[in-house]
Chains A and B, each alone.
Chain A
Amino acid sequence: MSARETAPEQVREEREGRFGPYGGRYVPETLIPALDELRDAWAEAREDPAFISRLELLRRDFIGRPTPLYLAERLSEQVGRKTYLKREDLAHTGAHKINNAIGQVLLALRMGKSRIIAETGAGQHGVATATACALLDTECVVYMGSEDIRRQRPNVERMKLMGAEIVAVEAGARTLKEAVSAAIRDWVANVADTHYVIGSAVGPAPFPDLVRDMQRVIGDESREQALAAEGALPGRVIACVGGGSNAIGIFAGFLDDEEVSLIGVEAAGEGLESGRHGAPLSGGTTSVLHGSLSAVIADGEGQIMEAHSVSAGLDYPGVGPEHAWLRDTGRATYVSVTDADALAAFRDLSRLEGIIPALETAHAFAWVTDEGRIGGSGYDVVSLSGRGDKDLAEVLGLESV
């Protein structure tokens, strides 16, 4: 029909922001300029000594970094090998999420954005973002599924106390997936003055790269601390994987050390075969969710299915695209742990080490103390991604049933 059919336009396929085939920017056109702007702003900021020194100062004096790498002796004895815990639970606000939130809010202010939005599942990212916004004096709106509001009440109160507005999301299963969708819709409508602080290494490019860059401080510190303590690299590095930001952060420090095995632990929920799980890497398919192509729990027609996990932070049917690529290339291995085993590990670690881990993190410990006892060599480093105070009511409620 048109002249174009005889002389097709060559369009450049965007390769940046891809991890193998995964990643990309599957979003409404309205957001493309904002994603370009964010990519360019981060490329500039990371080379700006003033920005980096501000970020490093806040990491040290506000977050409390570096967090310790702690040799858990009683746990080591039980699993039969030395096990070190990277204590992200000791970071301000009680989880690794603050690393990303502080970095992104600083970046947003540098970009001239006056309003911050975020989604949250377990509430840890919401608290971290509300904290960063209070510190840096910026408006903060947090989207949260109403089911998660119910099961993570203390975190809701903390966010409100710090001045954040909480918007309850009632769509779907009223959990993290819908909260992310609601936040993206807000961003599409308010893109000029708003920055979306996504909480995990998911979403359209450049978010998976940006969040990994903000979280790789976990891995860089761990590597240095591990070498100082043992004079050798660990045999294995283990982290729980929901969206996968604490895992990609700690993995990033060891990616080039091929002798170090990287193990990601997903939520098997009621069991992979039950269909009620949060383990897209182990039991999902390749699909698009929230702007990127990755491992997703979806049906044969591409409809996203509801995830299930006792842990709100792992209750998500997608995962960061870099994890899908690390799985395919074999650089990392992904395993999964059921609700029941994670709950048992939650109690075990509390009694064994005097540390109440987040339910998310308890998945990693459940693997270390069970299947993980077999195989591997050298010593382990486990990412203790967050503290479990927020989960007490939920766990006690389940026990009473």
Chain B
Amino acid sequence: MSEGGPATIAAAFREAEQEGRPALMPYLMGGFPDFETSSAIARAYVEGGADLIELGVPFSDPLADGPVIHEAATRALALGIGLGDVLKICAEVSGDVPVILMAYTNMILSGAGPADFASRAREAGAAGVIVPDLPLGTDESIRSELEAAGLSVVPLVAPTTEPGRRQGICGVATGFVYVVSDVGTTGERSEVPAHLAELVEDVSARSEVPVAVGFGIGSPEQAAEVGRIADGVIIGSRLVRLVADAGGREAAATAARDFLVQTREALAGARVG
């Protein structure tokens, strides 16, 4: 990949915007339910119309994740899936759509450290990284080393984040800003929270890069609702559950592709006017 991560991500958001819709950003857990199936799911995401893919690196103690993603990580680890396997999946699809790795701090600090993690991720074509347990002000050297290697480091803004801190977070964002829709861990919610529009509007006003929303989006309808206010819509636990329930590689890939196609249809025109 010749372009840097930030430029690749910007181009993907621009393309969606030009089509009058928010970017569709599905998540998958690398190596769940097994390596081959998750690789097939990544390809199904590309075919189903993903604009960017969020690829989880399994971690034993994922504090930001709810039971569905935690369980997926536990199962992937039980199969011996490691960072190397996840990066193989990344390399398979990163030529088609930008891939953002979702990796906890330990995945980055272990081994030969952040610079080595970043160069391996770039070799696999990753455009960016989300580190859910590395808030602004904690170990800023990690962010610098990842950015120096050409990766976007996507920060999170939570409903509890004070306006002053939002400003600081938007100030360091590259790629996009990830707005957490609701307090709590990842997982489907029955409703889109009432305060979300206000939060997204505020963050958008402060940010030079696009704003995507995740946590709790469980249906194409919810995606469309969120998509009217955000530049991108992230769907995680719903898709992981779909895969877990599918029973078999082909079925999982088909279910994932169909869900994305439906969601893309629901999102069409959401950002027009």
The answer to whether B106 touches A303, judged by C-beta atoms less than 8 angstroms apart, is yes
- Interface residue SS majority, chain B: loop
The answer to whether A30 touches B160, judged by C-beta atoms less than 8 angstroms apart, is yes
The answer to whether B161 touches A33, judged by C-beta atoms less than 8 angstroms apart, is yes
* Distance, CA A288 to CA B105, complexed state (A): 7
Interface residues of B in 137-181 (CB under 8 A from A): 137-141, 143, 155-162, 165, 168-169, 171-172, 174, 180
Which residues of B are found within 8 Å of A13, using beta-carbon distances? 137, 139-141
Interface residues of B in 167-209 (CB under 8 A from A): 168-169, 171-172, 174, 180, 183-185, 208-209
* Distance, CA A9 to CA B7, complexed state (A): 19
Asked if A11 CB lies within 8 Å of chain B CBs, one says: yes
* Distance, CA A293 to CA B160, complexed state (A): 24
* Distance, CA A31 to CA B209, complexed state (A): 24
Interface residues on A, range: 35 or more
The answer to whether B109 touches A288, judged by C-beta atoms less than 8 angstroms apart, is yes
Stretch at the interface among A19-27, A128-136, A258-266: A19-27
Asked if B238 CB lies within 8 Å of chain A CBs, one says: no
Query: Which listed residue, B61, B110, B184, touches A181 by the CB 8 Å rule?
Result: B61
Query: Which listed residue, A4, A30, A34, A302, touches B180 by the CB 8 Å rule?
Result: A30
Min distance, Cβ A295 to any Cβ of chain B, angstroms: 13
The answer to whether A14 touches B184, judged by C-beta atoms less than 8 angstroms apart, is no
Min distance, Cβ B86 to any Cβ of chain A, angstroms: 11
Asked if B134 CB lies within 8 Å of chain A CBs, one says: yes
The answer to whether A29 touches B161, judged by C-beta atoms less than 8 angstroms apart, is yes
* Distance, CA A3 to CA B135, complexed state (A): 23
* Distance, CA A11 to CA B160, complexed state (A): 20
Asked if A256 CB lies within 8 Å of chain B CBs, one says: no
Which residues of B are found within 8 Å of A189, using beta-carbon distances? 183-185
The answer to whether B137 touches A11, judged by C-beta atoms less than 8 angstroms apart, is yes
Which residues of B are found within 8 Å of A28, using beta-carbon distances? 63-64, 132-133, 135, 156, 158, 180, 185
The answer to whether B157 touches A29, judged by C-beta atoms less than 8 angstroms apart, is yes
Chain A residues in contact with chain B, CB under 8 A?
Answer: 1-5, 9, 11-14, 24-34, 171-172, 177, 181, 184-185, 188-192, 286-291, 293, 298, 300-305
Q: A14-B137, A27-B133 are in contact. List 15 more A-B contacts (CB 8 A).
A: A11-B136, A13-B137, A13-B140, A24-B139, A28-B64, A29-B136, A29-B161, A32-B136, A172-B60, A189-B185, A290-B61, A291-B63, A302-B111, A304-B61, A305-B60
List 6 tightest A-B contacts by C-beta distance, closest first: A302-B110, A302-B106, A189-B184, A30-B158, A9-B171, A28-B64
